[in-house]
Chain A
Amino acid sequence: MASVQYREIEGRSGAYLALLGVLGALVLAGLGAAWLMEHEGHHITGMTNRIVWGTPHVFAVFLIVAASGALNVASIASVFGRELYKPLARLSALLAITLLAGGLAVLVLDLGRPDRLIVAMTHYNFKSVFAWNIFLYTGFFAVVALYLWTMLERRMNGYTRRAGVLAFLWRLVLTTGTGSIFGFLVAREPYAGALMAPLFIVMSFSFGLAVFVLVLMAACRWSGRSLGDAVLGRLRSLLGVFVATVLYFVAVQHLSNLYIARQHELERFFLLEGGVYTALFWLGQVLVGGVLPLALLFGAASRGALAAAAACVIAGGFAQLYVLIIGGQAYPQQMFPEKEVASSFFDGVVASYAPSLPEVALGAGGVALALALTVVALRVLPFLPASLADADVDVLGGTA
C-alpha cells in the first residue's frame, strides 16, 4: 500500500488570520443573536406559534445532514476499499465532526431554554426521536473521533477499517434519526411517512459531498497544494449520482402524493400555489439544486464547473430544507377534510413567515463555527495530504 504524506497547513499568513477573523466575527454575531433571542424571547424572530421551527432549523438540519454526508468520502475509502479516496478520508471525518458541531450549536442556542441543556442530558423520554438523536449525535462524535484516531495514529492504522465500518453504520442510523424527526410527525401531512429517512440519507450524501468538495478545493488552493484531475473527476461523478438520486426521491415523494386524493391540496400548495415555497421548490430546489448541477457536472469538465455545481447543490439544499421545514409548517394542518376553517390561531390559512436577522445570524454563526473549527484543525493536525496531484495519487489507482 502506498503511503500518503499528510501535513498541517502553515496558518501564519495574513489571509489565514483574516479568514479566521471573519469566521470568528460571524460566530460572535451568532452568539449575540442567540443571547438576544434568549433575553427578549422568540417574538423578535420570524417564528410564531404556527411556524415554530424557522431559519435556525434550516441551517441546523442542513449542517447535521451534511455532517453525516461529509463522512462518505472516508467511508468509500475504509469500508469499500477505494484507495483513491484514502488521502481524503481524514478531511472527510474532520468535516463530519465540525459540521455536526456547528449544526448542534444552532439547534441548542435556538431552544427556548438553552440554559436547560443539562436537563436534556439528564432527563430522557426514550420514545422520543429527539432523545434518540441526542445519543446518536454524541455517539457520532465519539465514533468519528475514534475513527480519526485510527487514521492519525500509525499504530492504530490496523483498526481503521473496523472503525470506518462502525462510523458508516452509525451515520446511516444518525441520518435515519434526523429524517425520522419529521417522518414520525403523524399529524403533519407534508412530513409523515417512512420516506423521510431515506430521503434525508440521500440528501446527506449530496449536501455533504458538495461541502466536502468546496472545502477540499479551497484548502488545497489556499495552502498551495496540488489537487489533480483524477481526484476531482471521481468526486464530480459521485456528486452527479447523488444529486440525481435526491431528485429521484423528491419525484417519488411528490408523485406518490399526487396519486392520493387527500394529499392533492398539499401538492397544489407545494407545486403550484404556495407562493414563496413553490418558487423555492422549482427554482431553488429543482433548478439550482438539481438540474443546474447535473448540467455543470456532466456538461463541463472544468474545476470552475465542479465548484459551481457544489455551490448550487448547497444553495439548492438550503432551499429544499426551507420548503420542507418551513413550508411544511406553513401549510395548514388538516383537521376537517372538505371544510374551510378559520380561527384566531390562523387555522385553515397558510401561515406567514419571514426570516429575521437574529435567525439568519444564528444560522450563519453555526456555519462559521463549523468552518472555523475546520480551519483551526487543519493547522493543528495533519488532516490534509501534502499533495493530491495526479502523479501522487496515481499509485493509489487513481487513473485506473
Chain B
Amino acid sequence: MSDPALQVPVLKVDGLIKRFGGLTATDNLSLDIRAGEIHAVIGPNGAGKTTMIGQLIGELRPDAGTIHFMGRDITAMPVHLRSAIGIARSFQITSIFPNFSALDNVALAVQAHDGHSFRFWADARKDLGLREPAMAALEQVGLSHRAGVTASALSHGEHRQLEIAMALATKPKLLLLDEPMAGMGPEDSARMVTMLRGIKGSVTILLIEHDMDAVFALADRITVLVYGHGIATGTPDDIRRNEQVRQAYLGDETPSLQGAE
C-alpha cells in the first residue's frame, strides 16, 4: 500500500475564506482528506464548523480559496451536482421528509442517483430498484425494523440514524457528518460509534462532532478549528499532545480528554 499522504486527497481545501460582514467565519482554512479515513473537525461553538460544511456542500459560496474533490475543482459547483459526483451530507439538525416512511426517505435518496425522475406512471413504492438498496442502507444503520414507520414518529436517535442511511444511500465517496451524535444519550451515541466503525473504510468520512469520546474513538486524523482557522491537524495522539490545542480549546476539557485515552 502506498503512503496515503502521497495519494490525491479525496477532498482538498485550499485557503478557504468566508466572511459575514465583519465576521470571518472561515479564515484561510486548508484541509486534506485522504481516501478511506475518518477525519474529524473539532472546535468550540462558533468556530465555523457548520459554515465550513456549508461551503463544502455548496450551499455557501466562499469569498476566496478553492475546494477540490478527487482532483476536480468544485468550488463553484451547485449543490445537487456535488451530490451527483459523490458528496453526501447529514444535517446537524435533523432534516428528513417527516410525512414519508423511513423507507420512503431512503428510497428517495436512492432515486436521486438513479437517473432522472421524469417518470410519471409506475408506482415508485413498488420499484424494487429503489426499495432494495434503500432497505440495505437502513440495515447498514440498524433501522430496517422501523422501515415502515412514518419518519415523524421515529425517536431522535432513529432520526439521526435515518439521516445517515439517506446519506449512505446516495453511495457517496465522501460523507460529511455534521454532529451525528447531537442531542443523543450515551446509549444511542455508543450505537452510532459502532455503526460508523462498521462503515469506516468503505467511505471517506469528514466528521464534525462535539462528543470527544466519539471523536477520539473514531478519527484517524483530527483538525482543530478555532475562529475559522485550522490551528492543528494530526492523529488523535498528536492532537492530545499539542500544547497550542490544549490552550486554545481543550484546556478546560483536559479531564474528558484523558478519559478518552
Judge: A and B partners, yes or no.
Answer: no
Interface residues of A (CB under 8 A from B): none
